[in-house]
Structure 1
Amino acid sequence: MEIRTLRYFLAVAREENMSRAAEILHVTQPTLSKQLKSLEEELGKKLFTRHSFSIKLTEEGILLRNRAEDLVSMADKIEQEFVSLDDISGGDLYLGLAESYQLRFLARAIKTFKESYPNLHYHITSGDTEQLSEKTEKGLLDFVVLVEQPDIRKYEYIEFPQADTWGLIIPENDPLAKKESIRLDDLIGLPLFCSDQAWNGDIKKWAGSRFSELQLEGSFRLSYNGSIFTMEGLGYLLTYDHLIDTSKNNGLAFRPLSPKLENKIYFAWNRYQAFTPIAERFLSHLKVLVL
């Protein structure tokens, strides 16, 4: 199975049309059809269901698409790593980031690093701890920012200097906005928004034996999306301070949880990672700054 064939397959899966995919790939349609037929024969599975004007993935095709995306990304990363070996002015960094206002420390580090390496290119993936850890272990990310203390058997890490504070995003005209802090009793009976990871982790620990009394209205991986639903009166968002604009007259307010709930975040990398030169230089730069 060749990487080129997987690229062909992904193009057809994305476009759902053989002619458009062939045009994008700069190959003839018969050539593309032949490559995909060979791929199906090699795997012994039908990957597409062909209709009059479109092509849809079968269940086997969906499985291959998920695997092929990682394989092609890995191949691209390897090629870029070798190209960058002789580039003393830059290269590519792959970063996986959780949501936190403390990312400003990382952004500042990248900015000062680019003064010495102007040809630095960085690629950002956002996600929760499970998603980012999986990509790191596959070698698709150089560094990752996690909201859970990394497993020292797998990772080395640097701790960010501050902590993120949990609280509730509330419409500014809501009676709860008059409170200085939000206690568990205030949340009982409210439709709440939160990430699945935090709901079953930090919030569950904070609520203790009364966790079952809380009502999860909907889950969001991105706090901004949850704040839109809050603004429209569908519920209340549990998230970190500083992630949502709650300045005066913006329509929303933030109130911290009581008792206080905080998270440390960590800049981590695979303990057995083989770094590219630019990644190794960036890590040295970050260690000097200590974030």
Structure 2
Amino acid sequence: METRVLRYFLVVAETNNITQAARQLHLTQPTLSRQIQELERTVGCPLFDRHHHQLHLNAAGVLFRQRVKVILDLLEHAQQELQTSSTGLSGTVNLGLVESAVAPWVLEQVAAFQDHHPAVKFQLFSGDGDSLRPRLDQGQDDLAALIEPVEAAKYHFLALPVREEWGILMRADDPLAQRAGLQPAEVATLPLVMGRRPIVRDALADTLQLSPAELNLKVVTNLPGAVPTLLKTGHYYHLGIRGVATQYHDPALAFVPLIPQTTSGHLLAWKKHRPLSPAATAFLQFITPLTING
């Protein structure tokens, strides 16, 4: 199975039209049709539902497209790792960043590292922990900055000198918004919105001396942008980190910290039993002394 044909498949999947896809790929329509049919014979099942001149991915096609994108990303990553440069270290570091206060700190280190190694490029992916960990697992990212804890059986990790304070984000006109802090027992009574990472939720509940079942969890989300809309209804409170609240820059919302103060650290994680590229290894070596001194 040639990567060229896999790229053809992605174009057809995007356009849903053989004629249009052939035009984009500078192929004849019969040639492209034969290539797609041969691909379907190779994988052993149809990938498209065909109706007149339109093609739409079926369930097998949707799954196959996901896998093809990962395969082609990994191939491109491998090619970048093998690049050499007359100026020294080169290649690309694929770096995941959780949406928190750790991102500005890590990006400062990226800029400093590139001052020393200008031929090294970075590809950044931002998201929550449950978006970033599959990318580590599949090899799409070399490293990812995550909120602790992480699964020690799966990842190596390095503690970063950035901590986040936990609290409750709510409407600014809520009576609780005038409080200096909220006790765990008060938090347990609130209808909560939280991120979806169970390991973080469980660790936070343990810190608050609450069982996860005691939290009145109404909405679990990996979409930080959806949180303000929910909060502004007045029916929900977001149990989260100050860094996310800061990112919203919304005067209609207020952040109230937990009492006693509750914080979480950040970790730079990478998959066990998978060697890092020279560029990623060099970045890790560059950042390690800063975490020790931080």
Q: What interval of TM-score do these two structures reach, taking the shorter chain for normalisation?
A: 0.7 to 0.9
Structure 1 distance, partners of 2:10, 2:248, is: 44
So what's the TM-score if we normalise by structure 1? 0.87
Which moved further from structure 2: 120-129 or 242-251? 242-251
* Aligned residue type for 1:254: F
SS at 2:222 equivalent? coil
Aligned length: 290
For residues 45-194 of structure 1, what are the structure 2 equivalents within 5 Å?
45-52=45-52, 54-84=54-84, 88=88, 90-187=90-187, 190-194=190-194
Give the root-mean-square deviation of aligned CA atoms: 2.8
The residue number in structure 2 matching 1:211 is: 213
Contact 1:193 1:235 in 2 (8 A): yes
Q: Deviations over 1:221-271 (max 9, x none)?
A: 243431243235452222101222389982211011234432221012234
Deviates more, 1:148-157 or 1:89-98: 148-157
Kept after mapping to 1: 8 A contact 2:81/2:279: no
Give the aligned partner of residue 276 of structure 1.
277
Output the CA distance in 2 between the equivalents of 1:212 and 1:21.
54
Tell me the amino acid that sits aligned with residue 253 of structure 2.
L
CA contact (8 A) 1:195 1:220 kept: yes
Tell me which residue corresponds to 1:243: 244
Distance 1:232 1:94, change over 3 A: same
> 1:14-25, aligned counterparts within 5 Å?
14-25=14-25
Write the letter of the residue equivalent to 2:25.
L
Is 1:267 the counterpart of 2:268 in the alignment? Answer: yes
**Which residue of structure 1 aligns with residue 29 of structure 2?**
29
Q: Tell me, which stretches of 5 or more residues in structure 1 are unaligned?
A: none
> 1:95: Cα distance to partner?
0.7
Task: Give TM-score scaled by structure 2 length.
Answer: 0.86
How far apart, in 2, do the equivalents of 1:137 and 1:270 lie?
7
The answer (yes or no) to whether the contact 2:82–2:91 under 8 Å persists in 1 is: no
Return the alpha-carbon distance in structure 2 between the equivalents of residues 43 and 248 of structure 1.
49
> 1:257-286, CA deviations, whole angstroms, 9 ceiling, x for partnerless residues?
234432221012234333333222212211
Q: CA contact under 8 A between 1:85 and 1:277: conserved in structure 2? A: no
Structure 1 window deviating more from structure 2 (137-146 vs 183-192): it is 183-192
Q: Which amino acid aligns with 1:236?
A: Y
Amino acid at match of 1:105: W
Aligned-residue identity in percent: 28
| Aligned residue in 1 for 2:289 | 288
Give 3-state SS (helix, strand or coil) of 1:10's partner. helix
CA displacement 1:73-95 (0-9 Å, x = unmatched): 11111112222466626431101
Where does structure 2 lack aligned partners over 5 or more consecutive residues?
none
Change (3 A) 1:245 1:94: same
SS at match of 1:14: helix
Distance 1:56 1:191 in 2: 41
